[in-house]
Chains A and B, each alone.
Chain A
Amino acid sequence: MISSRWTPFLFLAPALAGLLIFRLTPILVAIGGSLSGVSLMGDLRYVGLENFEYLASDPEFWSSLRITLFFNMLINPIQLAVAFGLALLVFRPLPGLWFYRTLLVLPMAVSTGISAVLFGLFLDGNLGPMNGFLEWIGIGAQPFHRSQGQALYTLVGIATWKGAGYWMLFLLAGLYSIPSTVYEAATIDGASAWQRFRYVTLPLMRKPMAFVLVADTAINFLFFAPVYILTSGGPSGSTSVLMFQAYRAAFTFSDIGRSLAISTVLLGIILLIVVIEFRLMRSPEEAK
């Protein structure tokens, strides 16, 4: 196409500058900063792997890593399963379906922080109706995010309320992309509804499901707002995920080096996930 050599770059320049400065440079700053410490005078100096050595010997870091991994092993399959169930329910036409679809995706527009506040009030023993209801049906009041045993599960529930509708959309797109002729052929061959699901839908949905699982994992490794708002990592550290540890290192302990070391660990995990995501998106044939 005829154009001056510089025209494309003039169009690209503002966005590219934004991405380079505010997306790419921070990765380098995280790595560089994780190798530094703040001296008593307040300036940065190079300390090598000291921050990482500190993390390796810090039981709080390991416990936080365990909690983050456990949280992810719990929440990602749950969100995937709920989203897939929702997608199956709203896939086939039904009168009034648009109404249900709209309601199910509505939490997309409620910010994560606000959902945490909403459920903080909803589940509160004095302000919200939940415990009144549980007593009324005979289960009895629950402490939810205020107890060590239930806090993490409460956060999983809130995040699923907020996220399931969003992920449903991607799975729904996957369901629509399966040609109806495949189902017709299976029906003619005498496959029951269950068999069609098991041998047609599930195998053909592997790729969209893998995409959702991986993309969801990237987000949930960085889970922060509900922890900050509802539990502050507690009770007794039971919800102290890595992102919260990184925040606390920087803002409670003013230890930027340690905070960036945790950020670097998280970035390593996230970039690994992005690589996996890439492979999933690049090779559509392979997944079949």
Chain B
Amino acid sequence: METQFQSPHAVMLRYGLLSILAFIVVFPLVWLALASLRPQNEIFQPVSEFGWSTFIPSRFTLDNYRSLLNGDFPLAVKNSTFVALTTVLFGVIVNALAGFAFAVFDFRGKNLVFLLVIVSFMMPFEAIVLPLYVMIRAFGWANSYQALIVPEIANGMVIFLFRQFFASIPRDFYEAARVDGASWLYIFTRIAMPLSWPTIATSGLMLFLAQWDSFFWPVVAASDSNYAVVQVAIARNINFEQNDWGGLFASTNLAILLGTIPFLLIQRFYVRTLISGGIK
């Protein structure tokens, strides 16, 4: 309703600025996607003469993607997917249980425990990577899937989001089920969880992106190439002199797509929950 008060010039200016900024954000991504479809022998060529050929390949080919099948990339995708999905599965259950407890029960020490939850999500994970590595090594977990998955399951932000959601359901609702003789576990699995699917989707994406974004921890805890996740495998390739630049383009582009596609699918819930949970 504010729009009608804005002058046409102001509207034009906004569109202009938004277009420039969106271009800056998207252009490197589009460039990479196009470059990954270039024939291998054309990778270096376009830069010498700046023009359309810098961006548009002379012919489109999937050769670079095909070459990935023979390298370490399929294993890295498998590792990343396994690690991220396992974290999502366990993370949603474990953190939803805790969120439910904070929302529904009164118990001694509740505030103190909740403080631990809040502090754990305000302190970025990177702060404890090196001491955590010392611990993981002592457990004998260095270079293993456990090292990548287990420390990432409990997540203060996700506990918080579930608490907010479960607290928004009137307590009478749970009480009524109790009076009917339902156990708390039954109420949680059959009543509370089915109602909370937007929170499940958001938390799932949050846990997925946390794993997807994680770089420091995998580099430290699982540097062995058998356990290398996508980011680690790709980062390793940019640092070596190599002949397969096309493969690096293709793998980087795939890594971007694997992160952005789930994000685009549920970004509406995600953004809404993130904001309402993060501020209040």
Contact = CB atoms under 8 A, between A and B. Distances in A.
Interface of A: 1-3, 5, 7-9, 11-12, 14-27, 29-30, 33, 86, 89-90, 92-94, 100, 102-114, 116-122, 125-129, 131-133, 135-136, 161, 165, 169-170, 172-174, 177, 208, 211, 215, 218-219, 222, 224-225, 228-229, 243, 246-247, 250-251, 256, 259-260, 263, 266-267, 270-271, 274, 277-278
Given A19-B120, A93-B2, A173-B276, A121 B235 contact: no
The 7 closest A-B pairs by CB, nearest first: A18-B154, A109-B263, A15-B98, A11-B101, A26-B128, A113-B215, A8-B105
A260 B25 contact: no
Given A11-B184, A133-B50, A173-B275, A17 B154 contact: yes
9 contacts: A15-B94, A15-B97, A30-B131, A117-B234, A118-B256, A126-B47, A208-B279, A225-B231, A228-B235
Given A228-B216, A274-B123, 11 more contacts: A15-B94, A16-B116, A89-B18, A102-B264, A117-B235, A129-B55, A161-B25, A173-B275, A229-B235, A251-B220, A260-B134
Interface of B: 1-3, 6, 11, 14-15, 17-19, 21-22, 24-26, 28-29, 31-32, 35, 43-44, 46-50, 54-55, 94-95, 97-98, 100-102, 104-107, 110, 113, 116-120, 122-124, 126-128, 130-135, 150-151, 153-154, 156, 159, 171, 174-175, 178, 184, 188, 209, 212-216, 219-220, 230-232, 234-235, 238-239, 245, 248-249, 252, 255-256, 259-260, 262-264, 267, 271, 274-276, 278-279
A7 B97 CA distance: 11
Contacts of A127: 35, 43-44, 47, 245
Contacts of A5: 107
A119 B2 contact: no
A22 B47 contact: no
Contacts, number: 282
A26 B106 contact: no
Contacts of B3: 92-94
Contact of B150 (A22, A27, A103, A104): A22
A12 B127 contact: no
Nearest to B7: A193
Contacts of B43: 127
Given A120-B238, A173-B279, A229-B235, A132 B47 contact: yes
- Majority secondary structure of chain A interface residues (helix, strand, loop or mixed): helix
B156 A19 contact: yes
A174 B276 CA distance: 10
Nearest to A218: B124
A249 B84 CA distance: 29
B95 A15 contact: yes
Contact of A110 (B94, B150, B260): B260
B123 A132 contact: no
